Amino acid sequence: GHNLPFDPNLVTPPTSSWSYAEAVTSFCTYLDQRSLQPRFDFDAVAAVNDESAYAAITVLKSRGARVPDDIAVTGFDDLAMAGSVAPPLTTVRAPFHAMGRRAVEILLGRLHGEEYSEPFVLPAQLIVRHSCGCLLPTITEAAASVDEHIVSRGYERQGLAAALNEERSAIVMEMANAVGGSSLALQCAGQLLNGFIGEIEHGTGHAFLSALDAVLNQVATQRGRVKEWQRAISVMQRRIMPYLLHKKTQVQANNLWHQARVMVGEAAWRHQSWKRLRTEGHARDLRAIGTRLSTAQTLDDLLDILAIELPAFGVPCCYLSLYVDPLHPGESARLVFGYDEHGPLEIAPDQRVFPAKLLAPEKVWSRSERFSLLVEPLYHRMEQLGFVVFETGGIEGGRDGELWDALQMQISSALMAVQLHQEAVNARREAEAGWQLAEERQRAAEEANQLKSRFLSMVSHEMRTPLNVITGLSENLIQQRPADNNPALNSVYRDLERINISAQHLDNLIRDVLDLAVSHVGQLKLVLERLEILDVLCPVIEIGERMAAEKGLAWQLEIPDSLPRISYDRTRLRQVVLNLISNAVKFTDQGEVALCIQATTKVVTILVRDTGLGIPKEDQGLIFEEFRRTERASTRGYGGLGLGLAICRRLVELGGGRIGVESTGAEGGGSTFFFSLPALEESHEAAELAISKVYLLSNRESSQNLFNLLVQGGFEVKEIRIDTQADWLRPILDAPPGAVVLDIQDKNQQGWEVVNAFRSNPALQEVPILFCSLFDNRGAVIEMNYLDKPISANRLVRALEQQGLIPDHQARNILLVDDDQAILDLHTRLVEQRLPGCLTRRARNGREALDEMRRVKPDLVLLDLMMPEMNGFEVLEEMRKDEDLRSIPVIVMTSQKLSEHEMQQFNNGVAAVLEKGLFSAEETYAQLSTILGRSKHLGSEARRVARLAMAYIHEHYREPIARKD
């Protein structure tokens, strides 16, 4: 070599692909990391390939270095781009074709048992261009001086052929080596030399140029390098010139050589243009094939396209095979497509699978004599798909590997697209099947839910109605207990109390089942209000004390004097605490039960402590699940469904709290159940009383007429949009109104939701609700005074007081309408007991009720909404139509749990009455005013007249005036 020292600091680390982009990044990073400066730290760059060499030229230029003036650069591979970059790239042309051929020969030799001990060395060719600092060889060789080589050697009298006789073979060989040294080059060089000699000696017209034209055409046909024949012309000039001693002959020879150089240049340009057109044509054809392949959705579609496009593209033979098992591609493959010069391959399906190393089934090779084949792998990223075998002889320029690579990539992509499409189709079919199954299951679930709803409704009505009758009658009898201490009667009343408590206990069990079912469908809700804990729990404390006393247990209370308020559901708070106390009493045979309340500014914790059975550690996390009871409780005969604690947990968590238990686990060690709820921050500002206000609740924009009508009537009105304001109930709870007017559009469920929210909240139970509509100067009103069936005595008294009915011994006429005889009897006795001297009449359905009202006009109607034959809404509608009946106050009664069908009946009934528009605007307001006037908060005639006067003054006088004026 050249004795250049090896410096490892001047070797860049390898990259993954040695592409241009990666080489640029790697070279820049390396120069920066090592702080290497071109011209100072190195003078040349030897790259592993032409792309890396071009990347080095780009980086060096960006850093101010000139190539080749400052830094010499060389590449390797002699790619097509090497001669077109600036400066043209000096590179090494490896004999890849010879290497491949020799590799196949060695492989075949090894298959036949031959051994090869010596390595094979095939010489590479240095292609000198400008990037190393040298001139192009064609330019250097063309500059040879003629005069220096002219020497008188006694050849003047000899012909040129005779003079060159001894060196003719050497000249031909040197010319051939200048253009690659192949057998074709040797043959063409001989033809050129013969043509030149013939034209110089004999003046044969255009013999040399004709021979050159034939050579260039032959080289171009064989895809040789046309422009390299400039070097052969230069060798000819340098070797023959010394033998041309006459001036005339020298001029003639130089003219031929100049013409030859022009002809080579023209041929090279023409060949390059042809190659460009051919490349463009191939690219166009490949794009067309790719476009058609992209439309294939199945493998059969793809194969049909290949059967048309590949022969038209010039591929005489093709065999496409897919691996049977892509994870083991070396084992076997299946031929899926093939054709040769005889046409499509007809191979039985059972003969299409073959060992992958054979490249095709044996039947293929038996019918074809083509062996100029190219094998291309078919893959997508790291996934092996198969391989395709092409016959390469049919396409002009069949050695162009990039062409086959592009075709292989298109087929691979199309195969993967077909595979993905098929997977998508299968996934869609599975999804559709899944959707169909889901729809079927949804329908089944909806049917089951409807069945469950009907079942719950039946349970609520058919089971709880007789229980409530038992409870109501026993409670009514207990309240009639005489004051004298009669031992015989005391025993009877104790039995009545046990009956009442047992009925309430069974009712609570049914409530637990219903609450659990409602919780599972996400319908368990809390009616939140600001609660004083001690006021809410007073009835529970009395019940707990009585339960403990009946079992001989001590009762302890640990409650601080001051407690913060909480935002929670009044009824649910009592339910949770009573459930915990009931459990504590049930599982404690001796000792005590204690109710404790602990509070901080942020949390209120309620604890129930007992000295009872105790809860094993392993069961403490399970007892809050549905239908879970401890083994210890079961073996000792304690009853229960295991639902109470599950319901408690859900109710506490709905309020943002948590529930738990503490117990040592020892039998008889007792336990402490506790739950915590967030405390409300104390506010020093008193809440504004708004009982004189009327709230107008609506779900549409058209309530302005109704709003104006109420304001003109002297009422203080506040409008709330329940369709856009999620927390619409909060301002009503903070300041309960004197009445609520509902203007609800369409037959949706919002009407029932509002009624249910008011009915479920003790703070709002006495607020009158009116459904009203006013449009096109027509309107209608439904007063929705309501009670839960069966009616408790205290609730009945409050409802009667709202209607102005008090026990004043005046003769009153009350009509009770219900299809349940037991409920009808119970309500009749309650009314007669609370209003002595009143006259009660009964009706079993809506038609009977209307007949009774028309026969004797009642002072009040207690009307059940859900009845057969004619429901309560139909009764209300008929009453609105009758001028004599429309002013009769009505209290409607509903079940505590309405089914979905019943809720729809409720909403449809309200909508049916309101949509009739039975009254004019004046008549509608007259009804509103009459009904609102019965409110104990809004009903004062003096206050109503004062409000009308205030409205008149504000409308007609500029200066404002207040009530105190």
Beta strands in 63-190 (DSSP E): 72-74, 91-93, 125-127
Q: Are residues 748 and 761 in the same domain?
A: yes
Mean pLDDT comparison of 395-409, 475-489, 550-564, 858-872, highest-scoring range:
550-564
In a domain, 311, yes or no: no
pLDDT of residue 597: 95
Segment 160-179 mean pLDDT: 84
Q: Which two tokens stand for residue 531?
A: 């609660």
Provide CB contacts within 8 A for 487, sequence distance 6+.
none
CATH number at residue 572: 3.30.565.10
955 and 918 inside one domain:
yes
Lowest mean pLDDT among 75-79, 649-653, 841-845, 892-896: 892-896
**Token code pair at residue 144:** 């040879």
| 68 prior amide bond cis, ω within 30 | yes
Pairing, β 332-340 against β 318-323? antiparallel
Residue 151 within any structural domain of the chain: no
3-state secondary structure of 771: strand
Give the span between the Cα atoms of 549 and 681, in whole angstroms.
Answer: 37
Residues 548 and 533 in one domain: yes
The answer to whether position 303 is within a domain reads: no
Q: For residue 105, what pLDDT band results from cuts at 50, 70 and 90?
A: confident
Domain end: 351, 377, 399, which one? 399
What is the distance between the alpha carbons of residues 659 and 649, in angstroms, rounded to a whole number?
6
Tell me: do 773 and 721 sit in the same domain.
Answer: yes
CA end-to-end span of the chain? 120
**Residue finishing a domain among 449, 483, 517:** 483
pLDDT class of 152 with cuts at 50, 70, 90? very low
Closest among 207, 205, 227, 208 to 216, alpha carbons compared: 227
| Claim to verify: residue 123 and residue 15 sit in the same structural domain | yes
Q: Tell me, what's the pLDDT at 951?
A: 47
- CB-based contacts of 729, cutoff 8 Å, min separation 6: 528, 757, 761
CA nearest neighbour of 337 among 347, 329, 351, 324: 347
Instruction: Indicate if 638 and 759 belong to the same structural domain.
Output: no
Sequence-separated (6 or more) residues with CB below 8 Å from residue 849: 815, 817, 843, 861, 863, 875
pLDDT, one tens digit per residue, over 262-318 is 888 888 887 777 777 777 777 787 788 888 888 888 888 888 888 888 888 878 888
Residues 725 and 665 in one domain: no
The mean pLDDT of the chain is 77
Residue 48 maps to a domain: yes
CA torsion sign for 445, 449, 454, 455 is positive
Question: Mean per-residue pLDDT for 234-257?
Answer: 86
- 0.85 exceeded by the pTM? no
Contact 670, 609 (CB under 8 A): yes
Sheet holding 592-599, edge to edge: 554-558, 592-599, 603-610, 671-678, 658-662
Residue 825 to residues 15, 109, 814, 845, 933: CA-CA distances in angstroms?
Answer: 97, 114, 14, 15, 31
Amino acid, single-letter form, for residue 888: I
The continuous run of DSSP H or E covering 343 comes out as: strand 343-344
Least confident interval from 409-418, 691-700, 711-720: 691-700
Query: Interior CA angle at 553 toward 652 and 648, to 5°?
Result: 10
Query: Which of 254-262's residues contact partners 24+ apart within 8 Å by CB, and which partners?
Result: 254/146, 256/196, 256/199, 256/200, 256/208, 256/209, 257/233, 259/209, 260/208, 260/209, 260/212, 260/233, 261/142, 261/230, 261/233
Are 831 and 814 in contact by the 8 Å Cβ rule? The answer is: yes
Instruction: Identify the residue whose tokens are 């000039």.
Output: 237
- What is d(CA 59, CA 36) in angstroms, rounded to the nearest whole number? 13
Q: Tell me how far apart the alpha carbons of residues 41 and 39 are, in angstroms, rounded to a whole number.
A: 6
- What is the per-residue pLDDT for 779? 57
| Structural domain range at position 33 | 8-132
| Residue 331 and residue 341 in contact, taking contact as beta carbons nearer than 8 Å | no
What was the pLDDT predicted at 879? Answer: 84
pLDDT (tens digit per residue) in 510-531: 766 666 565 555 556 677 788 8
Closest CA to 756 of 898, 643, 620, 873: 898
Calpha distance 386→117 (Å, rounded) = 35
CA distance 260 to 197: 14
Is 478 in a helix, a strand, or coil? helix
CA dihedral 31, 35, 36, 41 (to 10 degrees): -170
CA 236 – CA 259 distance, rounded (Å): 14
Beta pairing partners, 652: none
Is 593 in contact with 554 (CB distance < 8 Å)? yes
Are 381 and 262 within 8 A, CB to CB?
no
Q: Which of 286-295, 706-715, 858-867 has the lowest mean pLDDT?
A: 706-715
Instruction: Provide CB contacts within 8 A for 400, sequence distance 6+.
Output: 282
Question: 7 falls in which pLDDT band (50, 70, 90)?
Answer: confident
* Domain co-membership, 260 together with 218: yes
CB atoms under 10 Å from CB of 117, counted, come to 4
What's the confidence (pLDDT) of residue 663?
A: 87
H-run or E-run covering 44:
strand 44-46
Q: Which residue has the higher pLDDT, 110 or 899?
A: 110
Claim to verify: residue 937 and residue 886 sit in the same structural domain: no
Which residues are 698's β-sheet partners? Answer: 721, 743
| 407 occurs within a structural domain | no
Give 207 or 140, the one with higher predicted confidence.
207
Return the residue matching tokens 């605490």.
577
Query: Does the residue 806 lie in any domain?
Result: yes
Question: Is there a single domain that holds both residue 710 and residue 779?
Answer: yes
Among 678, 707, 724, where does a domain finish?
Answer: 678
329 within some domain = yes
The residue with tokens 């579609």 is 301
Domain at 912, CATH number: 3.40.50.2300
Contact yes or no for 836/809 (Cβ under 8 A): yes
Residues 6 or more apart in contact with residue 822 via CB below 8 angstroms? 465, 466, 469
For the chain, what is the domain count?
Answer: 7
Confidence of residue 940 (pLDDT cuts 50, 70, 90): very low
pLDDT of 293 reads: 83
Report whether pLDDT(76) > 70: yes
Mean pLDDT of 911-938: 53
Q: Does 848 share its domain with 917? A: no
Note whether 778 and 927 are same-domain residues.
Answer: yes
What's the average model confidence in pLDDT over 805-832? 79
Q: Is residue 297 part of a domain?
A: no
**Looking at the DSSP assignment, which residues form a beta bridge with residue 919?**
779
Work out the pLDDT band at 443, boundaries 50, 70, 90: confident
Q: Can you say whether the dihedral through the CA atoms of 894, 898, 902, 907 is positive or negative?
A: positive
